[in-house]
Structure 1
Amino acid sequence: MEWEKLLNYRRRRESSVDPNRLKISGDTDSRNSFESDFGRVVFSSSCRRLHDKTQVFPLTSDDNIHSRLTHSMEVMNIGLSFAIYLCGNDEFKAKTELSEIDILRKISPILKTSCLVHDIGNPPFGHFGEVVIQEYFKDLFANLEGLCKGDKNSSEISRFIYNSLNDSQRAELNDLLKNDCLKYDYTQFDGNAEGFRVLTKLQYLGDLFGLNLTYATLAATLKYPNLGAKDKGGYIGVHKHGVFYTEKEALDEIITECKLISDNGSICRHPLAFLMEAADSICYYIMDVEDAIQKQWIKYEDLEKGIQKLDNEDLYNRFFSKKDNIKYTKKKWVDLRTKLITYLMELATKEFINNLDSIIKGTYDNELIENDAVTQLLKGLSRDKILSNRDIMSLEVTGEAVISGILNAYIKYFFHKEKSFRTRGKALISKSIFMTVLHEYVEKHQEDDNLKDDYRKHVSIEGRCDTIEELYDKFDVGDFSVEERFRVIRDFIACMTDKFALNHLRKLNGQKI
């Protein structure tokens, strides 16, 4: 019963099977729901955009260096390998009462899909892009709070916003500034939370269900299943702000449907999220080193010396056998990479199975490979030799200027007193993103007596995409709340690729036609 809940194949919206597909596969579609999830993701525009998003090296022209897409494909391969490991593990099958077919047809596609989408919500310019968005809104909200209290000594952009608002809109702004949960969606912005929003809403197809993935697949993508403030000292699932307040309903459904509640009533991770996280970490640490070797920032010998310093002869011999005697440097690295991946996968699988009961109960509080000496060595190399490199830091500074510039530009469009500016700002925003927030606005105001008569006919029929598209053409951005305007801008920027963001700012600044 436990794993029946954890492998919940139901979707938030019931999905029908294309009758033409039945002609090919017989009486029923031969794919199960989890295998269908993988196809939905692979054919999504959000998945395609990963090809031009930073993994570690922003705006690189070197085709040998990892993008978010190639990284995610490698993570997906590790996830699939974990499922194969579990197929052959009698202890896991005994603990879960799952057959090899169950593992291959259910756990395998769930891991493949969750691994492929684990970075789907990351903004341009990598993790530094997250920090830029966080710091921008921390500063903006602090300035707006000052203005609401009568402090005139605030930033230009905050004064621009405040002066554009009427009394009722200023009251809305006050409510936003007092609502910590909503503010966290900006001041603690995280790519994981944006990714969950992409999967559940922003892949807009006329309703607010996004790709409409199964509960189990969505649960396995949630590294941080929480709405609150990040707490590095708490349970692993609250180390980051993992779900936006706007997706509270989806989170609540997943928790209930997959029974992700610990004995003390707190939310716990789906067990497969631990394997997805381990697959990401394995690729992240090892392949970042490979990219650095490609750029000649790290030498093969640096890694060999580092493992030698661990003072574990058996471990050293496992990675650097005297029998190998390989001369070609690239071949030496590929062999070492394979051994490192195998070692960390064995470690993660053993840790996962040994601690499966506590993982399900929500009392296991570690990453599967985090406490290993080899992991710490790779992590240290990444920190000291790669992430602190001057070239990366220089490009991240460029990323800060790009993201901040786009935020400033769209805030000035969306909060302009002149409607023609607001209209032009709307025309520049991705229509699917704008339509998502507009649909959220429609649901919020479904029964609102104060709604403009001009909009009334478009919101009277819930769930009708055609009426919302009609509303899009005449809708004034100024009728969004302050937070809804921020939401459109945040989602638009978060979904940008690196080069698109750079070129878009140039267009906004008149530097490019």
Structure 2
Amino acid sequence: MIIYRSQENNLYLPSDMERRRTSAATHGKDARDAFEKDYGRIVHSAAFRRLQSKTQVIGRIAGDFHRTRLTHSMEVAQIARGIAIYLNNNSSYFTGNKALDVSLLEAAALAHDLGHPPFGHRGEEALHTCMEDYGGFEGNAQTFRILTRLEGEQDACGLNLTRALLMSIMKYPIFLDTAMNPGQEEPVLKLPPKASVFRCDQEAFEWTLSSLTEQERDFLMETEKVPNQHRRTLHQTLECSIIELADDIAYGTHDAEDAIQLGLIRLSRLKTLLRPFHNSGIYPELQEASKDLDGLDPEDTQLKYRLKKVFARLISTFITHVQVVENQFPASTPRLQFHVALPGDLRTLLDCLKQLVSEKVIHSQRVQTISWKGKHVIHCLFHAFMTEDRLLTEHDRMLVNCSATEAERARVVCDYIAGMTDSFAMRMYDRLFGQSRNFFDY
């Protein structure tokens, strides 16, 4: 966190610091600004703590060494911070009193995965199927719902965060039902379309975008139609583009590192990806990383430390070659004027690393076996809670009793399950359907 900054930062407008509900007066000695307060509210939230027991990629099959959603979010925040510091020091767009706010980026990065349910993307698929007749489910939209409604005091606008923070986590600024294409061909994994808002959270969404002009809202929510697929959003805020890139970097490097340590990815596959950079003078750190890999032995007792140096060089290369791209749109807010991207060859390398993790880890038999069981658990829990609301907590039973429609009732059940950790969901399943203590064996 960076506490001290220049008196005025013209990259952010007064509307960016606004909250839906006026906060209580703070002590005169509080040195934090609006974005640093957002950071504190997120770190101290229960939803953030639950990430420590939610699957990132590998899940509990591998013990306690690998990344969880919590450590992944912390690493995304660190990478986003590195990008911001690099751009503030090297980009002509962000100098003097027009600098990227590091606290805002760190806070948004820590919050970006809060809405993901237990058991990773299989859990998301299961909840979306369960909610098919009630508005659907999507992890990014659940993040927005947590921050604007579920976390914090009831009817207190969730964590009551700033407008800039909420816009920074809206990776897909569109309603879930708008993004759906009913005529799509069903994929093997029936994942929901990418969207950042449920229709039932329309009020909070409209407030978040209320500072923009009609043209700016249309630009931010613009989509493209893809045959036999859901609609795709085309734009996001500057900070959101940084966090998305940081997320991709963390996924393609840290998760690959875990997978190599666990024997899911061969060291030779990483060597092959970096070989084109072995004699390249354009990216010296990639050249060094490739040479370091050539000297690595999979049986070396120091492998994990030497491998960490290789991935550190990779991450450093990505961060120090981030480019600022100016949008061809006359926005009144600087945060819609730019987005960030990697040069084509580095983007290709990063996409290959992500594909390697997807191929060798996410779609591996032992990970898919556990994921499938997690999907089954969520289906069973949803049916049980919808059938018998006395299985819910006292607070959720009250919400169910106040529900005017079946869709509202289902959303309460969905919120409860989505907030569970992997281990809590399994314990609840065991209480209702019998012991399954060997669930994570393979």
**TM more than 0.5:** yes
Q: Which residue in 1 is equivalent to 2:374?
A: 399
Matching of residues 14-33 of structure 1 within 5 Å: 14-19=22-27, 22=28, 25=29, 29-33=30-34
Q: Is the 8 A contact 1:55 1:68 kept in 2?
A: yes
1:231-252 Cα offsets, whole Å, 9 max, x none, are: 79xxxxx961220112111111
Distance in structure 2 (CA, Å) of the matches to 1:322 and 1:10: 49
**What runs of 5+ residues in structure 1 fail to find an aligned partner?**
142-182, 233-237, 415-423, 439-474
Q: Which residue does 1:225 correspond to in 2?
A: 173
- Which residue of structure 2 aligns with residue 12 of structure 1? 20
Q: Are positions 1:190 and 2:190 aligned together?
A: no
In structure 1, what residue type is equivalent to 2:314?
L
Change (3 A) 1:84 1:239: farther
CA shift, 1:324, in A, is 9.6
Whether the 8 Å CA contact 2:140–2:171 is kept in 1: the answer is: yes
The 1:305/1:90 distance shift into structure 2, 3 A limit, reads: closer
In structure 2, the partner of 1:376 is 351
Counterparts of 2:335 and 2:88 in 1: how far apart (Å)? Answer: 23
2:381 aligned with 1:429: no
Given that 2:77 and 2:109 are in contact with CA atoms closer than 8 Å, whether structure 1 keeps it comes out as yes
Q: How many residues are aligned here? A: 393
1:178-225: CA deviation from partner (whole Å, max 9, x where unpaired): xxxxx4x31xx2110001100011014132401001111111011011
Q: Distance in 1 between the 2:279 and 2:152 partners? A: 53
Which of 198, 201, 205 is equivalent to 1:247?
201
Q: Could you tell me which residue of structure 2 aligns to residue 35 of structure 1?
A: 36
130 and 247 in structure 1: CA distance in 2 versus 1, 3 angstrom threshold: same
Give the secondary-structure state (helix, strand or coil) at the position aligned to 1:93: coil
Equivalent-residue separation in structure 2 for 1:504 and 1:35 (angstroms): 37
Deviation at 1:361, TM superposition (A): 8.8
Corresponding position of 1:443: none
Question: CA–CA distance in 2 between the matches of 1:379 and 1:495?
Answer: 27
Distance 1:47 1:321, change over 3 A: same
In structure 2, relative to structure 1, the CA distance for the partners of 1:54 and 1:261 (3 Å cut) is farther
**Could you tell me how far apart the structure 2 residues matched to 1:274 and 1:50 are?**
22
Letter in 2 for 1:5: L
Alignment deviations for residues 300-342 of structure 1 (CA, whole Å, 9 cap, x no partner): 3320122225797445624324799677422331111011101
The separation in 2 between residues aligned to 1:344 and 1:6, in whole angstroms, is 32
* Matched ranges for 1:454-473 at <5 A: none
The question of 1:320 aligning with 2:294 is answered no
Q: Secondary structure, in 3 states, of the residue corresponding to 1:354?
A: strand
Q: Which moved more, 1:374-383 or 1:211-220?
A: 374-383
Residues 126, 375 of structure 2: 8 Å contact kept = yes
For 2:416 and 2:293, the matched residues in 1 are separated by 54
How far apart, CA to CA, are the structure 2 residues paired with 1:269 and 1:506? Answer: 42
1:205 aligns with 2:153: yes
Report how far residue 260 of structure 1 moved: 8.4
2:92 partner letter: E
Measure the CA separation in 1 of the matches of 2:47 and 2:384: 24
Using the size of structure 2 for normalisation, the TM-score is: 0.80
> Do 1:223 and 1:269's aligned partners in 2 also have CA atoms closer than 8 Å?
yes
Distance 1:135 1:263 in 2: 30
Q: Does 1:112 align with 2:61?
A: no
Q: Contact 1:293 / 1:300 at 8 angstroms: preserved in 2?
A: yes
Contact 1:6 1:270 in 2 (8 A): no
Which residue is 2:50 aligned to?
A: 49
Please tell me the residue identity of whatever aligns with 2:53.
Answer: D
Residue 230 (structure 1) shift? 2.6
1:58/1:377 CA distance change after superposition, 3 Å: same
Contact 1:260 1:269 in 2 (8 A): no
Structure 1, 299-308 or 251-260: larger mean CA deviation: 251-260
Question: Is residue 271–residue 294 contact of structure 2 (8 Å, CA) maintained in 1?
Answer: no
Checking the alignment, whether the CA contact within 8 Å between 2:80 and 2:106 is kept in structure 1 is yes
- Max radius of gyration: which structure? 1
1:483 maps to 2:407: yes
Number of the residue aligned with 1:346: 320
Structure 1's 367 and 129: CA in aligned 2 closer, same or farther, altered over 3 A?
farther
CA distance in 1, matches of 2:160, 2:212: 16
Q: Secondary structure at the match of 1:131?
A: helix
- Please tell me whether the aligned partners of residues 121 and 191 of structure 1 are also in contact (alpha carbons under 8 angstroms): yes
Map 1:244-393 → 2, pairs under 5 A: 244-257=198-211, 261-262=215-216, 267=221, 268-308=235-275, 313-314=280-281, 317-321=287-291, 328-347=302-321, 349-350=322-323, 353-355=324-326, 372-393=347-368
Structure 2 counterpart of 1:429, which letter? T
When residues 367 and 93 of structure 1 are mapped into structure 2, their CA distance, relative to the original with a 3 A threshold, is: closer
Matches of 1:338 and 1:511, distance apart in 2: 43
**Cα 1:8–1:224, aligned 2, differ >3 Å: closer, same or farther?**
same
CA RMSD across the alignment: 3.2
Cα distance in structure 1, aligned partners of 2:292 and 2:53: 41
Structure that is richer in helix per residue: 1
How far residue 17 of structure 1 moved from its aligned partner, in angstroms, is: 3.0
The answer on whether the counterparts of 2:271 and 2:293 sit within 8 Å (CA) in structure 1 is no
Return the alpha-carbon distance in structure 2 between the equivalents of residues 318 and 430 of structure 1. Answer: 58
For residue 13 of structure 2, give the secondary structure of its aligned residue in structure 1: helix
Q: 1:312 to 1:412 in 2, by over 3 A?
A: farther
Amino acid at match of 2:19: R
> 2: CA distance between counterparts of 1:292 and 1:91?
39
Aligned to 1:132: 126
Percent identity (aligned): 30
Match of 1:507 in 2: 431
Inter-partner Cα distance in structure 1 for 2:214 and 2:349: 32
Alpha-carbon contact 2:278-2:290 (below 8 Å) kept? no
Aligned AA for 2:326? N
Indicate if the aligned counterparts of 1:216 and 1:258 stay in contact, CA closer than 8 A.
no
Unaligned runs of 5+ in 2: 1-8, 182-191, 222-234, 437-442
Normalized against structure 1, the TM-score is what? 0.69
Paired AA for residue 430 in structure 2: R
The code of the aligned residue for 2:149 comes to K
Structure 1 residue matching 2:203: 3-state secondary structure: helix
